[in-house]
Amino acid sequence: MIIDMPDTTTNKVSKRLAHLRDEGGAVALGRVLTLVVVAEEADIEAAVAAANKASHEHPCRVVVVAPLATRSRTARLDAQIRVGGDAGASEVVVLRTAGPPLEHTDTLIMPLLLPDAPIVVWWPTGGPDEPASHPVGTMAQRRITDTTTAKDPVGMLGRLVESYRPGDTDLAWARITLWRGLIAAALEQPPYEPVTSVTVEGQSKHTSLDLLAAWLGVKLRCPSTVVRTPSSEAIIRVVLERKSGPIVFDRPDGRTVTITQPGKPERRMALPIRSLSEALIEELRRLDPDEIYGEVLTRGLSRVETTTSRKKSA
């Protein structure tokens, strides 16, 4: 069910939500958090779809804030409430606003926050260079950016290093969780030799490459290099050099990874590129600061070397 409330206030929206609960149409008592999405008009539907999928694992109230399509200096708020089949296991409130309320997002959403529930803020397209200083960021336990969708992904990742605060995270980090598990499992098998260098190859603007290389460099205490291939898709190849020969993870198609290493048969495993909803679900699983991400961002990235390859992926 979708309810449109043009030219309204958040207090009226909150009362309408309470009325819907009284009618038995929506229950907020089982919600575990409030997910605030700071978006542009073009982001709204994709962000709501991802949040709805995530809500089946993390029941929440989703509050989306976006500028009105017609920019204006006059204060105005158009709201939309989505419940039932249009909201997954959540309640979705879309706020399109203009004028002064757009500059004070924290005050705008305050009447819609669930009482005594954690607040998570997510920027679907890039995000601010200082998430913890954003009006909603100062209120949130977790602040989720997505450098892979920024206009300058690598540049933004570098700026996040300078502004990092506990509670910050990035969907580019969630996208490498399966890679981290796969590589860790391979290194737990004999021969137990130290890794002398790491190379991560993939799409030129995909910041997951940088974070994976930084994580490997920090944890294995070895040099790490990112090779950017303009025509590739996400991460396509990881090479861990050891004395007995390299462990090579090859994923040219973005779906299946082939693992080769000396003295062992070649192995193939499904490793599809993670969807937006899968990455969001991953980040909503924890509400405490991700110390490993913080270490990788602030200590590991500066040690990563970068080169560019002109070859095309298969």
251 lies in the same domain as 131 = no
Q: Assess if residue 145 is contained within a domain.
A: yes
3-class DSSP assignment, residue 7: coil
| Pair 101, 203 in one domain | no
Q: What is the pLDDT of residue 71?
A: 67
Task: Please state whether the peptide bond connecting residue 191 to the residue before it is cis, i.e. omega within 30 degrees of 0.
Answer: yes
User: Is residue 181 situated within a structural domain?
Assistant: no
Q: Is the dihedral of CA 262, 265, 266, 272 positive or negative?
A: negative
Q: How, if at all, do strands 119-122 and 142-145 pair?
A: parallel
The per-residue pLDDT for range 119-166, each reduced to its tens digit, is 999 999 999 999 999 999 999 999 999 999 999 999 999 999 999 999
Other beta carbons within 10 angstroms of residue 253's beta carbon come to: 13
Identify whether residues 139 and 202 lie together within a single domain. no
Asked if residue 180 belongs to a domain, the reply is no
Whether residue 77 is found in the same domain as residue 141: yes
Same-domain status, 167 and 198 = no
Helical packing angle, 177-187 and 208-220, nearest 10°: 30
Strand order in the sheet with 91-98: 2-5, 76-82, 91-98, 60-67, 33-38, 119-122, 142-145, 168-170
Rounded to two decimals, what is the model's pTM? 0.92
Q: Is residue 183 part of a domain?
A: no
Domain of 111?
2-174
Whether residues 289 and 145 share a domain: the answer is: no
Q: Which residues of the chain have pLDDT under 70?
A: 24-30, 71-72, 310-314
Q: What is the pLDDT of residue 197?
A: 98
DSSP states along 182-197: HHHHHHTSSS-----E
Contacts of 181 (CB under 8 A, 6+ apart): none
Look at phi and psi of residue 68 and say left if phi exceeds 0, alpha if psi is from -120 to 50, else beta: beta
Cα separation, 269 vs 112, in Å, equals 44
pLDDT of residue 313: 39
Q: Read off the tokens for 1.
A: 């069910």
